Each structure stands twice: as C-alpha cells, then as structure tokens.
Amino acid sequence: MSKQGVTPQSEDFSKWYNEIVYKADLAAQTEVRGCIIIKPYGYEIWEGIKSGLDRRFKATGHQNAYFPLFIPESYLKREAEHVEGFSPELAIVTIAGGKELEERLVVRPTSETVIGKAFSEWIQSYRDLPLLINQWANVVRWELRTRPFLRTTEFLWQEGHTAHATEAEAEAETLQMLDVYADMAMNDAAVPVIKGQKSNIERFAGALRTYTIEAMMRDKKALQSGTSHNLGQNFAKAFEIRYLDPANEQQYCWTTSWGLSTRMVGAVVMTHGDDTGLRLPPKLAPIQVAIVPIYKNDDEKAAVHDTVQRIAKELTAADIRITIDWRDQSPGFKFNDWEMRGVPIRMEIGPKDVEKNNAVLARRDIPGKEGKQFVPQAGIVNAVKTLLAHIQQNLFQQAEDFRDGNIHDVKNYDEFKQVIEAGNWARGWWAASDADERRVKEETGATLRCLPFDQPGGTGQCFLTGATAPRVALFAKAY
C-alpha cells in the first residue's frame, strides 16, 4: 500500500478522511454497498471505546444481555411513530429455509421493540424496577449514502434499555447515561462534546425527549456522537410493560434507551487527524509507543538490541502498549508510517543513546524537532506515562480551542446565514416553530444540533422571529 502522503484536509476533507481510513489500515471496502470490514487496527480503537463504556455501564448498575437480530415485523408496527421513522431504511427477510415466511422478519435497526416485548414479560412488580440492561450488537439501516464509520449500512453499537417506576427516575437515567457518554468522549477519546436536547424535529422516533452529545470535526461540521432517549410511556403502552405498585395498582413503566456506535471511531479520526495522518488519543491508541531502533549495520543492531528489549519490557510491565519496529526499512520510512497511524509517542534508540543511556521521545501532537526530546533511560517509564498524559490533554485542548473558536453568537437571521455560510456553528436565542426550523434547514443547510444544557440564563430575542426566547440553540451543518 502506498504510504506516500495524504490529500491535505484543506484541499478536500472528504478525500482526506477516506484516504486516512484506508491508509492507516482502519477499514477496508467490501462488495456489499455501505458495508465495511473493520480491520484490526480500527477494531482496536472500537474496543477501547467499548471497554471504556462497558466499565462505566457496569459502574452505574447495568447488566449486559443479548437480544435477537431478527424482529417480527408486527413488533415494529406497535409503536406508530417508531415504525414510521424507521420503515424507509429497513432490511426485511422474506424468505428463509427456502420458503416464504409467514411473518416477515426485520433485521433490527434498533431493539426497542424486541426488548420492550421481553421487558413486558420480565416486569411484574415495582420490586423488579428499575431494570437496567445493555446490549452490544450490530444493527442494520439501509442508508442511501454511506461513509466508513460515519454511516454504514451495518454498524456496531451498544444500546441501553431501561425501565423505571416514575418519569423522574427515567429522566434521571437518561441524563446520567448522556453524562457517561460525554465522560467517555472527553476523557478517553479527547473529543470535546456539547450536551444538549434535540428539537422535536430531530427527536428519536417514538421518544418523549432525546438528548445528544455533539462534536465538531476539523472541517467544522457537527457529528452527533451519542444519543440518550427518554421514551416516556410510549413503548410501555405499545408493549404492555406494566408493574404492580405498592398500592396493588397496575402502572405503566417509564423506559429509556441510549446508544453509541462505531461512528465514534470516525469522530476520533475527524477530531484529531492532521495532514500527516491519524492522531490517536493515548487512552484509545492500540499502540501508545512505537520503538524504532536505529542502526547502520549488524554490529550496531546487536548493540542496540538489548537496550531496546529491556526498555520494551519495562514499558510493557507498566501496561503501556508498545511495538518494536524491526522491519527492514529506513528509519525515515518508519517515522512517517507511525505518524500516519497516529501513534502518540515514537521512541528512537540508537547507538548514541545506548552509549549515553538516553532515548529519544517524539510526540505525535507536536510535529518535527519541537516535539522531540532526549530522556534518560532511568525512569523512562514515568517519562512516557507523563508524556502520554500530556498528549491526551493537549489533543483535547486543541480540539476544544478549535471548536470554541468556530462557534459564533448570532442576533439575527442575516448574521446566522453569514456564520453558516462560512462553515461555522451558530448559537442564538431561539423561540421559533418546527416549521421555522425546517425552513432554516432548507434555506441554509444547517440543522438545530441541540438546545445546549449550558445556557446563558435569562431570556433574549429569537434570532429568527424576534420573539422573546427562553434559551439559545446551536445550529450547524452536520454529518
């Protein structure tokens, strides 16, 4: 595979993204439209996201389970808004075992319906609540336009599903899980996100309220990176999810669902990547340190060998993920290769370093000489750990500064159009109707990303209608 450079982001961001995905070996294309192979290096990033989330799910009392891929078509039809939202993108099995099926089976686009059915059987009494379940699964949505990780026909995700006795509890759960997503995004993926509520138009099909974390990519487009829904009693009523309360009265449960997908891998790529390739946050990087031994001949190679092995062992013992690059290539080639793959730290160990008991550490987040430093071999584990933490922090800071510098407050529709036209995000007081929101989308291409939790307070004048508005909204062009 050619490693010789990549199209600059400024020239063609889409092209840059595609090239990076394939050149950094994250994914491969397949014969089936919109379906990608997630290659080991890409899958390891997903595994990092996954384990970070799974740990947090367990810590908040959730258990994993697995529900079937196939859903009887009739289930989907029980919740009117839900089926309407999803029917255009369903894949449906009509023939199986060589026979036409009596009831068609939908390949799950999400599992509210099957899980709702199960919950209705599992829940009898208020003592069974809350019921806190998560599943790791693949889902299928027949998308018209696909992009690796960002929107694929089949994708991997987790979907949490919970049932509660009261609306307040369900709401608390919905918000808690949004916090879990934001925490993982910011602390593990170093992706700064804005928490907020979706508008009616952008709300999940069948939900009462939908909350979202929104991230800004380096082309300044918004990426919805995780969503959490308070489903109210809609699914409880459709699937008879009821419990007997302490007063011996039947009550409908309040349910929630929340999901985060392999799209997050795309978010990591597009939040941190630069013109030399990927830049991975240390916490998610499959390889945190790439050790490149430097030698001119076999004698030097032998001389360097022991030092490299010893340091590698120390790093591994400290749970630092490393690789040693003994490939028969020039050092320059290797430097570029690991930069393309986004490895946070490159360590060079050559004859001079062996002699002086040094090693060279080069940071991926600071290009060239600036990011290089000599460190003594004694205490190298701590030096690496500290540097990894700094890189994690710096990637987040860079992304946050970039994002904040590209969000602009607008007072009227003209300002709004200018900001959107320039590709930026617009924030303004908002009190307009659903119809107005659709019109804005039609006229400018920007969608209401969310009503941020973080509000200025008080009231202001709606930038579109001039009416008194209780809160600001965030608009942007989105993926």
Partner RNA sequence: CGGGGCGUAGCGAAGUUGGCAUCGCGCCGCGUUUGGGACGCGGAGAUCAUCGGUUCAAAUCCGGUCGCCCCGACCA
Binding segment for RNA (CB under 7 A), chosen from 44-52, 90-98, 140-148, 464-472, is 140-148
Segment interacting with RNA (CB under 7 A) among 51-59, 123-131, 142-150, 415-423? 142-150
327-356: which residues touch RNA (CB under 7 A)?
A: 328-333, 335-337, 339-340, 346, 348-353
The answer to whether 295 contacts RNA (rule: CB under 7 A) is yes
Please select the residue that binds RNA; options are 249, 297, 317, 454, rule is CB under 7 A.
297
The answer to the question of residue 136 lying near RNA (CB under 7 A) is no
* Residue among 20 and 175 whose Cβ is closer to RNA: 20
| Residue 85 interacting with RNA (CB under 7 A) | yes
Of 118 and 265, which CB lies nearer to RNA in the complex structure? 265
Please report whether residue 370 would count as binding RNA according to CB under 7 A. no
Nearer to RNA, 28 or 168 (CB): 28
**Choice between 171 and 202, CB closer to RNA:** 202
C-beta closer to RNA: residue 23 or 242: 23
**Rounded distance, CA 196 to CA 227, Å?**
10
Q: Which of residues 144-203 bind RNA (CB under 7 A)?
A: 144-148, 150-153, 155, 157, 202
Exactly one of 131, 191, 312, 362 binds RNA (CB under 7 A); that residue is 362
- The answer for residues whose C-beta is within 8 angstroms of residue 329's C-beta and 6 or more apart is 337
Q: Which is nearer to RNA, 168 or 422 (CB)?
A: 422
Of residues 114, 129, 294, 432, which one binds RNA by CB under 7 A?
294
Q: Cβ of residue 33: shortest distance to RNA, in angstroms?
A: 4
Residues 20-39 touching RNA, rule: CB under 7 A, are 29, 31, 33-34
Beta bridge partners of 195: 213
State the minimum distance, in angstroms, from the CB of residue 20 to RNA: 12
Q: Residues 227, 228, 271, 307: which binds RNA (CB under 7 A)?
A: 227
First vs last Cα of the chain: how many Å apart?
A: 29
Cα 82–85–90 angle (5° rounding)? 100
Of these, 111, 135, 225, 307, which contacts RNA (CB under 7 A)?
Answer: 225
In whole angstroms, how close is the CB of 294 to RNA at the nearest point? 4
Q: Is 41 in the site for RNA (CB under 7 A)?
A: no
Q: Based on CB atoms, which residue is closest to RNA, 131 or 359?
A: 359
CB-nearer residue toward RNA: 248 or 297: 297
Nearer to RNA (CB atom), residue 109 or residue 130? 109
Tell me how far apart the alpha carbons of residues 338 and 428 are, in angstroms, rounded to a whole number. 42
Q: Which is nearer to RNA, 368 or 457 (CB)?
A: 368
Q: What is the 3-state secondary structure (H, E, C) of the chain?
A: CCCCCCCCCCCCHHHHHHHHHHHCCCEEECCCCCCEEECHHHHHHHHHHHHHHHHHHHHCCCEECCCCCEEEHHHHCCCHHHHHHHHHHCEEEEEECCEEEEEEEEECCCCHHHHHHHHHHHCCEHHHCCEEEEEEEEEECCCCCCECCCECCEEEEEEEEEEECCHHHHHHHHHHHHHHHHHHHHHCCCCCCEEEECCCCCCCCCCCEEEEEEEECCCCCEEEEEEEEEEECHHHHHHCCEEECCCCCEEECEEEEEEEECHHHHHHHHHHCECCECCCCCCCCCCCEEEEECCCCHHHHHHHHHHHHHHHHHHHHCCCCEEECCCCCCHHHHHHHHHHCCCCEEEEECHHHHHHCEEEEEECCCCCHHHEEEEECCCHHHHHHHHHHHHHHHHHHHHHHHHHHCEEECCCHHHHHHHHHCCCEEEEECCCCHHHHHHHHHHHCCEEEEEECCCCCCCEECCCCCCEECCEEEEECEC
Q: Give residues 415-474 in contact with RNA (rule: CB under 7 A).
A: 441-442, 445
- CA atoms within 13 Å, Cβ hemisphere of 101: 14
Distance of closest approach, residue 288 Cβ to RNA, in angstroms: 17
> Minimum Å distance from CB 69 to RNA?
16
Residue 240 beta carbon to RNA: minimum distance, rounded to whole angstroms: 25
Q: Nearest approach, Cβ of 392 to RNA (angstroms)?
A: 20
- Choose one: 47-55, 118-126, 291-299, 383-391; the region binding RNA (CB under 7 A): 291-299
Give me the residue label for tokens 């740990």.
55
Pick 100 or 442: Cβ nearer RNA: 442
- Binders in 252-271 for RNA, by CB under 7 A: 259, 261-263
